[in-house]
């Protein structure tokens, strides 16, 4: 029942950031820095980073509190369905935090094309990370997880 991942999520984030940096470097023509006030953009970047860190911290805290694994490559070692705290609002707050960090980086780069990488991240993590995790958790926890899955949205 062990699930093998192709690329762990944090590496997916690093790959996405590298792609975003390459887009900014080689396709700078879609830069929107002339449209949005730099001060407003800086505030947006800062807020996104703070929210990402807060959500990530709350997610890890909830898993630790329930004494279950935070390791995404070993969902079969989960000891219970965590459905309280931040998990009452999102089934995947750690991935949400990663996405918010990528959005912050896209805003920092001020290039519209970099936001496409955020969409690619959502697609990839949904297909190759979240869906296999959900299959594993359904096998492990049956109706408990099915009820949780039906009552809490995947992202927000």
In DSSP notation, 7-27 reads: S-HHHHHHHHHHHHHHHHHH-
Q: Give pLDDT, residue 124.
A: 96
pTM: 0.92
Mean pLDDT, contiguous 10-residue spans, the chain (156 residues) = 68 98 93 91 98 97 89 78 95 98 98 97 96 93 96 95
Q: Which of 109, 116, 111, 99 is nearest to 42 (CA)?
A: 109
C-alpha 58/C-alpha 70 separation (Å) is 12
């Amino acid at each position: 029942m062990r699930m093998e991942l192709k690329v762990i999520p944090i590496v997916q984030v690093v790959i996405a950031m590298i792609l975003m940096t390459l887009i900014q470097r080689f396709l700078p023509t879609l830069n929107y820095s002339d449209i949005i006030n730099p001060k407003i953009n800086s505030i947006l970047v800062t807020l996104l980073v703070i929210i990402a860190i807060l959500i990530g911290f709350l997610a890890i805290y909830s898993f630790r509190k329930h004494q279950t694994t935070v390791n995404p490559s070993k969902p079969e070692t989960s000891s219970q369905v965590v459905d309280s705290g931040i998990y009452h609002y999102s089934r995947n707050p750690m991935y949400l935090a990663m996405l918010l960090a990528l959005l912050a980086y896209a805003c920092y780069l001020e290039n519209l094309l970099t936001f496409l990488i955020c969409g690619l991240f959502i697609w990839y993590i949904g297909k190759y990370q979240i869906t296999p995790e959900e299959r594993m958790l359904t096998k492990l926890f049956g109706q408990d997880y099915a009820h949780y899955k039906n009552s809490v949205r995947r992202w927000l």
